[in-house]
Amino acid sequence: MSFLQNMDRRIIYIFMLLLVSIPLIKPLGIPIEINYMTQEVYDMMDSLQPGDRVLFSINYDPTSAPDIHPQAVIVLRHLMQKGVKVAMVTFSASGPNIVEQLILPYEQEGKVYGEDFVNLGFIAGGETAIRNFGRDIIGTAKADYRGANLNSIPMLQDIVDARDFELVYVFHGYNPGVQEWVRQVQGALNINLVAGVVMVSVPEVMPFFTSGQIAGMLQGLRGAAEYELLLGQPGSAVAKMDAQSLGHLVIIFFVIVGNIAFFLEKKNAKK
Amino acid sequence: MRREIPIAITLIVGLTMLLSNFVDVPLGSEYSLKSLASELGGWVIIISAFAVGLASVNLVRIHSNHIRRRSSNWIYSVLLLVFLVGWTVMGILEFHNPESEALRTFSQNMFNSILSSLGAAMFALVALYLASAANRAFRVRNLDAAILLGATLIMMLGRAPVGALIWDKFPVMADWMLSVPNNVGQRAIMIGAAIGAFATSLRILLGIERGHLGSE
Amino acid sequence: MNISSNPWVWIAALGSIAIFSSMFKDNPFYRAAEHIFVGSGAGYALTQAYRNITIQGWRPMSDDGRFILIIPLILGVLLYTRFFRKIEWMSRWSMSFLIGVGTGIAIYGVYNSQLVAQLRATMVPLFVAGNAAATRDNIILVFGVIAVLLYFLFTVQVKGPVKHATSVGRVLMMITFGVSFGNVVMGRISLLLGVLETVYGKWLGLF
């Protein structure tokens, strides 16, 4: 009984690693249902027209990237396929190179930097920077990540503030993120705000969604997997869902085992 | 005066930012309250940029001391400083040579293979620690713990694709729990936190709260 | 198995394995990887700081003649006086500026978007004709928010019917925490899968 309660941690780690590794190499093919929130976000992106301009705010870093970067990849792919132009800014210090990771494949495909997308780099200052940026895009960013003057970027012509974008998509890994955009820009300028959120932050962002302050929300890696299916291009996010399922079952198993041992030990102690 | 001037700065600057949301008063021929607020916001961006470098400078101080004193494991401090300085030099060179494709590619590869991978690996360990903690610490000792565990299990089974295979109601229950009871709790926390933040912000502006000024 | 020949992939994979080796025992490979990561992160942050200072402060001042920007540049430098005990009081000027602006914008933003908007969203009809589920959810929403807010009232002694309301509030909080924990588990497993994709997929070529 005490073995079950106080199992060597390393056994648990190996068990977990093995069980999530197997479906990565040999997928099980568990069907994935599409959540209504993902469908709404997909429909919003699909309704955009070629030439429309969208702003991505990349607010995550490498430590949370595996949960949310697949969302940015697939949503950007959808928009690039539709001919929508995407400006990307970040308020996280590691963000600029994450943006470069996103746009490099499209440059190699023949899309043009400055016309189809632009990397506005990192702007320090958190919530204050978001406030200033939302009200004066060019004046706050001043230059793009590759050193060009923003007045020379074709896709940013006539852009003054966040309202000049069809929508603003905030990829939220940690603060500053969705809450800061809602507080400082969405409320004041009444912009169309969509959120892609790491799973950890989904519960705390939910009130903004139900109150209508954000128009749509994608949830973590699962949201990316569902979006890949809706786009008809299943990729790495879908491939990881089987492993995700087994990972959950492993955790549930250990919770149940630990509690069974706990109750049996309590019962023995009473005797 | 060492405390009075900072308190005055906080009050003047804070009031400017707050009032600019409600009124726009001309301040001379060039500025108005709104444009002053925007200017001050721009200053925050510059000062915050210096703050971003603070932690790095502190690291250099601490690890230089380790090396100088030959503390235990000082060789790791050398490794840290080599990468810190190397990365800084590379980044500044890239900034001043934006047309250099080679430098940009090298820097991106370094980011992908070192920062990105090692950072992700560090936080991925938490998943394994969670499994261990679930076995040792998640005990149903009372009704509150039982409710918490029940909600957790429904959420986990509702969000994983396998949950729908076990029982097709799990995803529905998880969605409902997220959009109703969770919404209730989070919204109440948000409202309470907003009132608290409001009160604390007023205290800071009026100089009653001085924790940010440090000790005498 | 199709092992990658890209040296960058090898660095990423071996670094990830070095970090994971700490699960079993603290070892020199883990220590080295940890220090490389911290040093790289700090160097990267310094680079971003340099970029921002140059683009936001130095260039507008030197190229466009905006000499007033000398003030934030000096305030920024003053932040570093905290490393010197005799003059660390100067860093308070910079901190108080940052805090002043932060609280000024926070008051309005929090009041407008978190307090008013959320209260407004809670004012929903308690009865929705022809929709029992919406009626049920709205009743839970309105009375639930009140119950949870009452639960956090610690300044007065709670007794009588109000105590039952706080019990309901506590149950709702437990559900909220349970939902949060469930999402944390899912999020952390996603991080693990990302690393395994690097090792099994990109490095070993197993999928």
Tens digit of pLDDT for each residue in C43-57? 999 999 999 999 999
As a dihedral over the C-alpha atoms of residue B101, residue B107, residue B109, residue B111, rounded to 10 degrees, the angle is -150
Tokens of C26: 């603290």
Confidence of residue A4 (pLDDT cuts 50, 70, 90): low
Cβ-nearest to A199 among C55, C186, C192 = C186
Look up the pTM and report it: 0.94
- Asked if B139 lies within 8 A of A258 by C-beta distance, the reply is yes
**Backbone φ/ψ region at B214: left (φ over 0), alpha (ψ -120 to 50), beta:** left
CB contacts, 8 Å: A58 with chain B: none
Residues B131, A251: C-beta atoms closer than 8 Å? yes
**Cα–Cα distance for residue pair C81/C88, rounded to 1 Å:** 5
Question: Which residues have a Cβ under 8 Å from the Cβ of A66 and sit 6 or more positions away?
Answer: A221, B120, B124, C190, C191, C193, C194, C195, C197
Digit-coded pLDDT (tens) for A202-215? 999 999 999 999 99
For C178, the closest of B3, B122, B155 (CB atoms) is B155
Structure tokens at A135: 């009200």
Closest by Cβ to C8, choosing from B44, B49, B112: B112
Per-residue pLDDT band for B29 (boundaries 50, 70, 90) equals confident
- Determine the Cα–Cα distance for residues A23 and A27; give it in Å rounded to an integer: 4
Nearest to B187 among C41, C68, C122 (CB): C122
Q: Is pLDDT above 70 for A1?
A: no
Contacts of C83 in chain B (CB under 8 A): 57-58, 61
Q: Tell whether the model's pLDDT for residue B215 goes beyond 70.
A: no
Do residues C99 and B212 touch, judged by C-beta distance below 8 A? Answer: yes
Q: Do A206 and B183 touch (CB under 8 A)?
A: yes
Spatial separation of the C-alpha atoms in residues A213 and A189, rounded to whole Å: 12
| Among A233, A236, A224, A238, CA closest to A72 | A224
Residue type, C30: Y
Q: How many residues does chain C have?
A: 207
What's the pLDDT tens digit per position in B48-94? 999 998 989 999 999 999 999 998 889 999 999 999 999 999 999 99
Higher pLDDT, A182 or B30: A182
Q: Check: CB of residue B113 under 8 Å from CB of residue A233.
A: no
Round to whole Å and give the CA distance between B93 and B82.
16
- Return the closest-CA partner of residue A224 out of A9, A25, A78: A78
For B159-198, the pLDDT digits (tens) are 999 999 999 999 999 999 999 999 999 999 999 999 999 9
Q: What is the pLDDT of residue B216?
A: 55
Nearest Cα residue in chain C from B186: C176
Peptide bond into A176 cis (omega under 30): yes
Alpha carbon distance C115, C121 (integer Å) = 10
Residue C186, CA atoms < 13 Å, CB-side half-sphere: 34
Distance of CA A238 to the CA centre of its chain: 15
Q: How confident is the model at residue C159 (pLDDT cuts 50, 70, 90)?
A: confident
| Of C6, C1, C20, C12, the residue nearest C192 (C-alpha) | C20
Q: Do A251 and B179 touch (CB under 8 A)?
A: no
Q: Residue A9 contacts by C-beta under 8 Å, 6 or more apart in sequence?
A: B132, C23
pLDDT by residue (tens digit) across A192-248? Answer: 999 999 999 999 999 999 999 999 999 999 999 999 999 999 999 999 999 999 999
Name the residue with tokens 């490389």: C36
Of C16, C103, C144, the CB nearest to B205: C103
Please name every residue paired with B154 in a beta bridge, in sequence order, or none if there are none. Answer: none
CA distance A192 to chain B (A): 21
- Cβ of C180 within 8 Å of Cβ of A10? The answer is no
Please give the biggest Cα pair distance in chain A. Answer: 82
Local structure of residue A144 (DSSP, 8 states): -
Chain B residue with CA closest to A260: the answer is B139
A248/C52 Cβ within 8 A: no
Q: Do A203 and B178 touch (CB under 8 A)?
A: yes
C65 or A5: whose pLDDT is higher?
C65
Where would I find the H helices in A47-64?
none
What would the two tokens of residue A198 be?
């790491």
Decide if C117 touches B, using CB distance below 8 A: no
CB contact under 8 A, B130 and A126: no
Across the interface, whether the CB atoms of B160 and A245 are under 8 A apart is answered yes
Whether A243 contacts A216, CB under 8 Å? no
Interface check C137 vs B, CB under 8 A: yes
Count CB atoms within 10 A of the CB of residue B147: 19
Contact partners, residue A74, CB within 8 Å, separation at least 6: A224, A227, A228, A231, A233, A235, A237
Q: Where are the alpha helices (DSSP H) in C110-205?
A: 117-122, 132-151, 161-196
- The mean per-residue pLDDT over the stretch A7-29 comes to 89
DSSP character at residue B44: H
Helices of type H across A47-94: 65-82
By percentage, how much of chain A surpasses pLDDT 90?
85
Which residue of chain A has the CA closest to B52?
A124
Find residue A218's DSSP bridge partners.
Answer: A196
Residues of chain B with Cβ-Cβ distance to A262 below 8 Å are 139-140
Of B46, B161, B187, the CB nearest to A31: B161
Q: Which residues have a Cβ under 8 Å from the Cβ of A230 and sit 6 or more positions away?
A: A34, A38, A39, A42
Contact A245 B163 (CB under 8 A): yes
What are the beta bridge partners of residue A195? A170, A217
Residue B121 to residue C44, Cβ atoms within 8 A:
no
- Chains B & C: contacts with CB separation below 8 Å: 385
Give yes or no for C125 touching B (CB within 8 A): no
Q: Which two tokens stand for residue C147?
A: 């119950």
Q: At what angle do helices B170-179 and A202-210 cross, to 10 degrees?
A: 70
Could you tell me if A126 and A133 are in contact, meaning their C-beta atoms sit under 8 angstroms apart? no
Q: What is the ipTM of this complex?
A: 0.91
B contact test, residue of A259, A260, A265, A267 with most B CBs within 10 A:
A259
Instruction: Name which of C48, C117, C176 is nearest A93 (Cβ-Cβ).
Output: C48
Cα(B175)–Cα(B183) distance, integer angstroms: 11
Phi/psi at B84 (nearest 5 deg)? -65, -50
Choosing among C148, C193, C196, C204, which should be mutated to test the A contact, i.e. which has the most A CBs within 10 A?
C193
Between helices B181-205 and C91-109, what is the axis angle to 10°? 130
Distance from CA of B18 to the nearest CA of C (A): 5
Local confidence band at B212 (pLDDT 50, 70, 90 cut-offs): confident
* Residue A231 confidence (pLDDT): 97
Contact between B86 and C167 (Cβ < 8 Å): no
Neighbours of chain C (3+ CB pairs under 8 A): A, B
Establish how many alpha carbons lie within 13 A of residue A157's alpha carbon, considering only the half-sphere containing its beta carbon.
7
pLDDT for C103 equals: 93
Which residue out of C181, C186, C197, C206 would a mutagenesis test of the A interface target, given it has the greatest number of A Cβ atoms within 10 Å?
A: C186
CA distance A21 to A13: 12
Rounded distance between C-alpha atoms, residue C189 and residue A247, angstroms = 7
What are the tens digits of pLDDT across the range A79-128?
A: 999 999 999 999 999 999 999 999 999 999 999 999 999 999 999 999 99
Q: To which residue do tokens 């229950």 refer?
A: B173
